[in-house]
Homo-oligomer: A and B are copies of this chain.
Amino acid sequence: MKLPSALDALTEALRCLPGVGPKSAQRMAYHLLQRDQAGAARLSDALHTAINRIHHCSQCNTFTEQETCEVCLSSSRDRSQLCVVETPADLLMMEQTHSYRGLYFVLMGRLSPLDGVGPRDIHLDLLEIRLSAGEVKEMILATNFTVEGEATAHFIGELASSRGVRVSRIARGLPVGGELEHVDSGTLAQALIDRREY
């Protein structure tokens, strides 16, 4: 007696989700087939659409369905300021403060040598090209205040100063060990205003 192979395949495929082990995957598979086939169909389509439509902005590296994202295309943004964040969610948090009118660079991660994440994995080659173009006069480091986030900020800060770009870090108004994504807009706005030379 074996489980149907399509069920086995689904359980196995669900394990690609972060934090989902064999038992959770089995529970999810049963739930979808038994109680939410419509949800499963929607998820299948959403995955298919997302991997086909979404790619990285040619300028700032965030997720977008266009060649270049709407922030990078906007004529009302200050092109001399570049804010470096770890994820698209962080970019969104920054936008919600309504305190920043410059551009962004999204690392899509953080330096983490123990996990094998080096400078190329967070697209610092792209960032270097951007800095070399000379348009950017100030870089605002808005990586998380975690160990990896701080190390990443330090590394990128060195990179920018060596090219004569003024570097600042958002103020440590955020709790140490905290993450941008979980903070309220007011605190983040304050941290942006209080940024200091790096």
Contact = CB atoms under 8 A, between A and B. Distances in A.
A33 B89 CA distance: 13
Contact of A7 (B6, B27, B54): B54
Contact of A47 (B27, B41, B49, B53): B41
Stoichiometry (number of copies): 2
A193 interface: no
Contact of A43 (B16, B33, B87): B16
A52 to B, nearest CB: 8
Contacts of A41: 47-48, 51
A21 B44 CA distance: 18
A133 interface: no
B34 A4 contact: no
Contacts of A46: 6, 9-10, 12-14
A191 interface: no
Contact of A34 (B16, B40, B42, B108): B108
Contacts of A24: 19
A29 interface: yes
A17 B3 contact: no
Interface stretch (A63-71, A124-132, A165-173): A63-71
B13 A39 contact: yes
A59 interface: no
A88 interface: yes
Nearest to A28: B17
Interface of A: 1, 3-7, 9-10, 12-14, 16-19, 23-24, 26-34, 36-37, 39-51, 53-54, 63-65, 70-71, 87-89, 91-92, 95, 108-109, 181
